[in-house]
Amino acid sequence: SQKIEQNSEALNIQEGKTATLTCNYTNYSPAYLQWYRQDPGRGPVFLLLIRENEKEKRKERLKVTFDTTLKQSLFHITASQPADSATYLCALLRYNFNKFYFGSGTKLNVKP
Amino acid sequence: DAGVIQSPRHEVTEMGQEVTLRCKPISGHNSLFWYRQTMMRGLELLIYFNNNVPIDDSGMPEDRFSAKMPNASFSTLKIQPSEPRDSAVYFCASSILFGQTNTEAFFGQGTRLTVV
């Protein structure tokens, strides 16, 4: 079965720095890899999607990379702000299998 | 659109009681997912519906859990009888199936279930 690993330890960084979060997966190569943000007491919210034939995707201060050889995705937030503090989850979706497999998430703390 | 709507937001019940969680997906979405989130196990997929039909219920932990989707705008997740280990946050999410693949999932606010 698919296994998705995200660093369970919180990531603490200073405001203005770049935060980098990692998502590693095993077994099947996904069709899509997605990143979600989850705030306390709320459901995850979709941020970015990257397809298996894409190396990089950007949206404002966010950047996602996807390395199918390493089976890894990196999620970057540049010029981080305290408002970016949240838990970030990665999710995989395979072609013809319409289930989203989620990692357990990494908590990001951006300190002013 | 108001997004995915779940009710109740919080539920406290005694062990052995029946619990019913409700979900209204986003209008026009044809896929619906029920997830359970705990600190220990993260976000686990329980069941997936497409066009109101259950496609994959392999994540449903036991026969005590059942889910229905009688129409495109309503789904329920029932636990009978409930046990303390069922305590978790239950999320409903909906999505659009394009071709053979779903795009992003839209989540509700969740139902925090506590079984005492």
Task: Write the residue in A45, A96, A105 that is nearest to B100 by C-beta.
Answer: A96
Question: E strands of chain A, at which residues?
Answer: 4-6, 11-14, 19-25, 32-38, 45-51, 56-59, 62-67, 72-77, 86-94, 97-102, 106-111
Mutate to test the interface with A, among B35, B104, B107, B112 (most CBs of A within 10 A): B104
Mutate to test the interface with B, among A102, A106, A107 (most CBs of B within 10 A): A102
**Chain A: nearest CA to B88, how far in angstroms?**
12
Task: Write the residue in B4, B48, B107 that is nearest to A98 by C-beta.
Answer: B48
**Chain B: nearest CA to A95, how far in angstroms?**
6
Q: Which structure tokens are listed for A107?
A: 């908590």
Please report the pLDDT score of residue A53 as a whole number.
87
B55 contacts in A (CB within 8 Å)? 98
pLDDT in tens, A33-79: 999 999 999 999 999 999 888 989 999 999 999 998 899 999 999 99
pLDDT in tens, B58-108: 999 889 999 999 999 999 999 999 999 999 999 999 998 876 677 789 999
Query: Can you tell me the distance from the alpha carbon of B97 to that of B49, in angstroms, rounded to the nearest whole number?
Result: 11
Position with higher pLDDT, A96 vs A67 = A67
Buried-state track B9-26, b at ≥16 Cβ within 10 A, e below 16? eebebeeeeebebbbbbb
**Chain A: nearest CA to B109, how far in angstroms?**
5
Query: Can you tell me the distance from the alpha carbon of A55 to that of B34, in angstroms, rounded to the nearest whole number?
Result: 31
